[in-house]
Amino acid sequence: MKFFVDTADVAEIRSLAELGMVDGVTTNPSLIAKSGRKIAEVIAEICDAVPGPVSAEVTATAFDGMMKEGRYLKAIAPNVAVKVPLTVDGLRACKALTGEGAMVNVTLCFSAAQALLAAKAGATFVSPFVGRLDDIGQDGMELIADIVEIYANYPALTTEVLVASVRHPIHVVQSAKLGADVATVPPAVLRALFHHPLTDKGLAAFLADWAKTGQSIL
């Protein structure tokens, strides 16, 4: 499974990339707005820090506007994936932009039927939002299972399942078990994957035993 980090904090992205755990990045206008900087500058920096796909989202809701913004974002760097919403106009833009050679991430997916449409439109990624489904009493992982199963039935469909709205490590593990291609996670969740109390306890015990020997490896 690939890990994308869901943030526009360039320093945080660089720090996580140094660990070798970041295969790509997802951003949105809200995340970039927090930086107080121009979107093109932020996206360019992120693309320079991470060689994998960097999702940059359009804000237009009509086809012509999406195409104009999508082409602008695509021109920032070769690894930009234009993010469009799962609407009729968004799917039209997805089809057109992929036809022009762009990577496209179709976002705000909440049903398997929507995911099938995104794949038919040629999306590079489809982003089902598991946390938001959990918030309204639905099981977000059931959606991931359905999408993975449907895509597996049709080898000609190349769209990758990018699990979004990830809230905790269990979402990541469940997504991996179901065969999702990517999980995009907030930095805090990615860092939480490293930790287990028994690891900390075991390391402390090993170090205490070693200290008793009075030795040094070097």
**Does pTM top 0.85 for this prediction?**
yes
pLDDT (mean) for 61-82:
98
Q: Compute the distance between CA of residue 97 and CA of residue 74 in angstroms, rounded to an integer.
A: 9
Q: Is residue 154 part of a domain?
A: yes
Residue 35: left (phi > 0), alpha (psi -120 to 50), or beta?
alpha
At residue 187 the predicted structure's pLDDT band, cuts being 50, 70 and 90, is very high
Would the CA dihedral through 151, 148, 24, 27 be positive or negative? Answer: positive
Structure tokens at 150: 């449907």
At residue 79 the predicted structure's pLDDT band, cuts being 50, 70 and 90, is very high
Q: Would you say residue 98 has pLDDT above 90? A: yes
Q: Is residue 195 part of a domain?
A: no
What's the confidence (pLDDT) of residue 125? 98
Q: Is residue 112 part of a domain?
A: yes
pLDDT (mean) for 113-121:
98
Structure tokens at 147: 């999408």
Q: Which amino acid type is present at position 195?
A: H
Q: Is residue 65 part of a domain?
A: yes
Tens-digit pLDDT profile for residues 15-53: 999 999 999 999 988 888 888 889 999 999 999 999 999
Residues marked active site are found at: 83
Domain region containing 29: 2-190
Q: Is residue 155 part of a domain?
A: yes
Q: Is residue 216 part of a domain?
A: no
pLDDT (mean) for 163-173:
97
Q: Compute the distance between CA of residue 82 and CA of residue 60 in angstroms, rounded to an integer.
A: 12
Domain total of the chain: 1
Q: Is residue 176 part of a domain?
A: yes
- CATH number, domain of 123, equals 3.20.20.70
Q: Is residue 97 part of a domain?
A: yes
Q: Compute the distance between CA of residue 216 and CA of residue 210 in angstroms, rounded to an integer.
A: 9
